[in-house]
Amino acid sequence: MTELCALAPGKLNLCLFLGAGRPDGRHELVSVVESVSLADSVELDPAPPGAVDDEVVCPGVEGPNLAAEALRGFRRATGWDGAPVRVRIDKRVPVAAGMGGGSGDAAAVLRLLARVAGRRLDEPAVIELARALGADVPAQVQPGLLLAEGAGERVTPLEPLEEHGVLVLALEHRLATASVFAEADRLGLPRAAEDLEARGAEVRTAFIPGGPLPLALLRNDLEPAARSLCPAVEPALADARAAGAAHAMVSGSGPTVVGLFPGPGGADAAHAAAEQLAGREPRACAARPVQAAFAAPAVREPAR
């Protein structure tokens, strides 16, 4: 088997409007998800000689790994019976931080396995597997700008917006997604169905191909819950604004804070902001929006 690699971009939610809980334990939502250049690296190799099972190696991350579930699920859903493989993940995206790092890794595994097995990512079996793995996975199988609805399992690709830069401020604190949604329920944050539908209509009108960031719609309904559980979010938001961000917000379920820098000079401005905050821990970094080609599987060059 050819040794392959793929990048697994992190994501941010340019907007996240929260609806009511569902019988399956998830929540209805309307969100615009954007893949960014801050990315993990995922490698797919033949398993070591004598191995009888697949293996996932992810240094620094303890406990169950969604990438391993993706690997098992792919074999089960597609019937692929290739020889055992080893997946190695080099983490760059903050863990348990609202940037979909684990979901992005699982999505990258699906891209790599589809390449090896000669399957299509838009096959029903692969689509259903992505939905079963978690709400963030479908939006990251083919990275880019997407509208996510339902509980995140219904995704519609959108054309890229005007160029802009992203400042990423990770925090040392980690937040479990389920805990943030539970806190949102406790705080009474979910919107009525009619309100959620209206926000969806606004999003479809405002996010136009090549258009500017619609600053008035950049809102994350989970942000108050993340602030409640992690008070360090508030000073991070202040840091992003002080560094020049036109808009600062929590990404997804948090606690990562992102600052947005609109326009053609936005990428340079985000880099300058990251340098301005160089003494911060965890270290500030800058990112840019990316599309599917950024994360396409490629043959891994042998180490020299």
Active-site positions? 11, 136
Residue 278 CA: distances (Å) to CA of 2, 30, 107, 285 = 40, 34, 31, 9
Residue 285 · residue 137 · CB < 8 Å? no
Residue 102 · residue 70 · CB < 8 Å? no
**Length of the chain counted residue by residue:** 304
> Which amino acid is residue 180, in one-letter code?
V
Rounded CA-CA distance 123/114 in Å is 10
Residue 222 CA: distances (Å) to CA of 133, 175, 211 = 21, 12, 26
How many CB atoms are closer than 10 A to CB 30?
25
Tell me the two tokens of residue 33.
């998800």
